Amino acid sequence: MSDRYIKDPSARLDYTWDWAAWLADVADTISSATVTTPDGLTADGAPVVGDVLVTQQISGGTVDETYTVVCQITTVGGRVDERSIYLTINNR
């Protein structure tokens, strides 16, 4: 799964973090997640949390800017980790 995406500034889209491989290695599942967006982007609603996936709807952005969006999870076993994706804003 890629960690870099191109997003139109007027689009509101779902972005998903896939933790399956890492969680399989530690035999764990996701208990909770938070998604942090920088100024200029909006996380619309709460993240949707599954056993191994976290999905967040994101809107906004300024053309020609690249934003880092961070997903932090806590697992049922008490592990905490985070991953980032990078959204570059371009008119599409």
* CATH number of the domain where residue 52 is located: 2.60.40
Instruction: Identify the pLDDT of residue 1.
Output: 60
Measured distance CA(70)–CA(90) in Å, rounded: 20
What type of residue is 75? T
Instruction: Identify the pLDDT of residue 72.
Output: 98
Give me the count of residues in the chain: 92
What domain range includes position 79? 4-89
Residues of 51-66 as b/e, b for ≥16 C-beta within 10 angstroms?
ebbbbbbbebbeeeee
Q: Could you tell me if 41 and 87 are in contact, meaning their C-beta atoms sit under 8 angstroms apart?
A: yes
Reported as a single tens digit per residue, the pLDDT across 31-79 is: 999 999 999 999 999 999 999 999 999 999 999 999 999 999 999 999 9
Number of domains in the chain: 1
